[in-house]
Structure 1
């Protein structure tokens, strides 16, 4: 599943297992510090198809849907 999966609710934690999709989005996620094995906490989703707010380590990020769709995750 990816970060846009609707079964992942705010408050859940997930682990990144890989990346798929366009190279530009995968590179951008990598530059932001998201790597395989990173544990993320889903904080919320903006209404009307807006960005996804996540927390990992001490960082907070808002990911566009195109970026979030690239991150393959599994729930912890």
Structure 2
């Protein structure tokens, strides 16, 4: 499953970043976002705009085409 498959408000864990652009992958790693990081989908902007995420306290936006390359695993709600 990729990041775009998640609904607003869902939590997930990043499982694979290897399909992403190497430059973007390196930037995310520099910000502390890597495999096994927990993410939360905060918002999706209209008209194909970016996806807004919260990852371990950091708020960031990622383009939809890059979000499709980010493999995640949905966390179950308890």
TM-score by length of 2: 0.82
CA distance in structure 2 between the partners assigned to 1:9 and 1:71 by the alignment:
15
Whether the 8 Å contact between 1:29 and 1:67 is mirrored in structure 2 is no
Choose the corresponding residue for 2:14, options 9, 13, 16.
Answer: 16
5+ residue gaps, structure 2: none
CA distance in structure 2 between the partners assigned to 1:60 and 1:21 by the alignment:
19
5+ residue gaps, structure 1: none
Partner of 1:4: helix, strand, or coil?
helix
Runs of 4+ in 1 over 4 A off after TM superposition: none
RMSD between superposed Cα atoms in Å: 1.4
**5 Å matches for 1:1-76?**
1-5=1-5, 8-19=6-17, 20-76=19-75
How many residues of Structure 1 are paired with residues of Structure 2 in the alignment? 74
